[in-house]
Amino acid sequence: MPLLRSTSNLARLSRSLFPLGRQCRLNSTTASPPPADGHLPSVASSELLSTKRDTSLRTPGITWADDDVNAPPRIALGGRETRKMNTYQAIRDAMSIALSKDESAVVFGEDVAFGGVFRCTMGLAEEFGRERVFNTPLTEQGIAGFGIGLALMGHTAIAEIQFADYIFPAFDQIVNEAAKIRYRSGGSYNAGGLTIRTPTMSVGHGGLYHSQSPEGFFMGASGLKIVIPRSPIQAKGLLLGSIRDPNPVIFMEPKILYRSAVEQVPIDDFELPLGKAEVLRSGSDLTLLTWGTPVYHCETALHLLETPSPELDSIVPRSLRSSKVELIDLRTVLPWDIETVMESVNRTGRLVIVHEAGMTAGVGAEISAEIQKRCFLKLNAPVRRVTGWDGRPSIPVALQYEKFHIPDAIRILDAIMETLTY
C-alpha cells in the first residue's frame, strides 16, 4: 500500500504542495488563492479549544476552590463567569489568584517585575508590591536555589526560568536538591512549595537557545513533577494545581501558544488534576498520545486522514479514512498517567507517540518501553514515535531549518497510516 515514506510519493506530494518557478506563476492566474490561514485547522480554529462558556465551565476534572469537598458536585453553573483569555493571560490570572490567597507566595525571575519577556507577569508587581514580585540576577542556578530555600522555610515560591533552554545551569539544584530533600531529610523538610515556570518548545525560528524541549532530561528525577498544558484553561487550572501540589513542579509553557490559543476561561479559582491525562477524542483503532503544541499538529493530521486535501487524495487509502483514532493529551509528563494510556492501547492495539524533543532517550522512549511491556499481547503493531530528529533538543542547525525538525501533520499522518496498515 503506498505510504508517504515512498520516495516517489513524497516527491510528487512536494511538487503538488510547493510548486516553484514557472509552474507557480502559470497557476496563479487560474486558481483561487487559499485563505490566509490555509484550509486546515489551526490553533486559532481548533475544535479542542473551549470557546463557549458552557463547555469551559464543564472542563473535565475541574474542581472549584470554593466548593465543599464533602458536598455533592454542583450541577448548576449559573453563578460562574468566564472571560476570553489567551494562554499568557490565563497564566497571569493563575498567579494573581495564588498571590492574593497565599500571603507567603512570591513570584521572581529575570525581568518578571517588568512583566516578563512573554508578559505573563504583567502588572503583578504593581498589584502585589515589589517585595512579592521581583527581578533576580541572570543566574538560573541562583533562581532555583533561592526558590528551594524559600520553600524549605514554608513559603510558596513561584520561580520563572526565562526559557526552558536556560534551565540546565539549575539542573543540579532541581535534581539533587529540590527533588531529593524530602527523602534526604527523612520527611523533615521538603521543597513542595516550589513551582518553576518556564517557556518551552519551538516557535519555528528560535534556534538552538530558544526552542528546546528539555522535559526528557528530568524523567529520572523522582520527587519532581513535570506539567505541560495545551491551552488557556489547562494552563490556569494546572498551574494553580502545581503551585498547591506538595511536590516541586516544573511547569513548562509552550511559548507559541501564549497568544495563539484563546479560550473562554473561568475567572474563579479552580484546579485541574496533576498526573491525569485527558482523552480529547475517543477511538477504537489507534491511540495517538502527545502533549503541548503537538496536540494541534495531531488534530490537523487526523483531519487530513479523514478528509485529505486534493494533493493527498491519491496517497491516503480510502480504507483508512474512517479509522477511529483516540487522541490523548498527557498533560503531566512526570509522573505520566500509565493507567489511562494502557487502557486505551489495550482497546486500540496501536500507539503513536508525538513530541518535539529528540527520539533518543526522550519521554516517548520511556512510554514506549512501558507500554510494550504492559500491553505486549494486545499490540497489533509496534509502538511508533514521531519526534524531532535526533540531535534535538539542542537544534544543531541554523534556525532556518527549525521547522524541518518539528514533527508536523504530514509526518504524523504518515506514522498513523503506517501503524494502521502494519
Q: Are 46 and 296 in contact (CB under 8 A)?
A: yes
Distances, alpha carbon 342 to alpha carbons 184, 253, 288, 289, 337, in Å: 33, 26, 12, 11, 9
Which residue is it, cell 483514532?
A: 325
Q: Are 112 and 130 in contact (CB under 8 A)?
A: no
Distance CA 224, CA 363 (A): 15
Summarised one tens digit per residue, pLDDT across range 180-221 is 999 999 999 999 999 999 999 988 777 778 888 999 999 999
Summarised one tens digit per residue, pLDDT across range 226-250 is 999 999 999 999 999 999 999 999 9
The reported pLDDT for the residue numbered 21 is 43
Angle at 216 between CA 281 and CA 276, to 5 degrees: 35
159 forms beta bridges with: 108, 196
The reported pLDDT for the residue numbered 328 is 98
Distances, alpha carbon 206 to alpha carbons 102, 175, 199, 209, 212, in Å: 36, 26, 12, 7, 9
Summarised one tens digit per residue, pLDDT across range 39-61 is 677 898 999 999 999 999 999 99
Rg, C-alpha atoms of the chain: 22
Cell reading at 31: 486558481
pTM over 0.85: yes
Q: Are 395 and 405 in contact (CB under 8 A)?
A: yes
Confidence of residue 19 (pLDDT cuts 50, 70, 90): very low
Of 16-25, 227-236, 390-399, which gets the smallest average pLDDT? 16-25
Summarised one tens digit per residue, pLDDT across range 79-90 is 899 999 999 999
SS3 177: helix
Distance CA 285, CA 213 (A): 29
Cell reading at 264: 473562554
Nearest to 358, CA basis, from 196, 161, 217, 206 = 217
Catalytic site positions: 140, 210
Dmax over CA atoms of the chain, in Å, equals: 74
Residue 297's φ and ψ, nearest 5 degrees, are -65, -40
161-172: average pLDDT: 97
Distance CA 91, CA 261 (A): 12
Summarised one tens digit per residue, pLDDT across range 337-391 is 999 999 999 999 999 999 999 899 999 999 999 999 999 999 999 999 999 887 5
Strands annotated E in 193-300: 194-200, 225-227, 249-254, 262-266, 270-271, 278-281, 286-290
Confidence of residue 116 (pLDDT cuts 50, 70, 90): very high
The reported pLDDT for the residue numbered 24 is 43
Cell reading at 20: 516553484
Distance CA 352, CA 214 (A): 20
Instruction: Catalogue all structural domains in the chain, each as residue range(s) with its CATH number.
Output: 41-66+80-271 (3.40.50.970), 278-421 (3.40.50.920)
SS3 116: coil
The reported pLDDT for the residue numbered 253 is 98
319-330: average pLDDT: 98
Distance CA 402, CA 397 (A): 7
Segment (H or E) for 391? strand 390-393
Which residue is it, cell 528530568?
A: 218
Cell reading at 101: 490567597
Contacts of 355 (CB under 8 A, 6+ apart): 213, 290, 291, 292, 294, 362, 363, 364, 385, 387, 388, 407
305-311: average pLDDT: 94
The reported pLDDT for the residue numbered 178 is 98
The reported pLDDT for the residue numbered 71 is 57
Q: What percent of the chain has pLDDT over 70?
A: 86
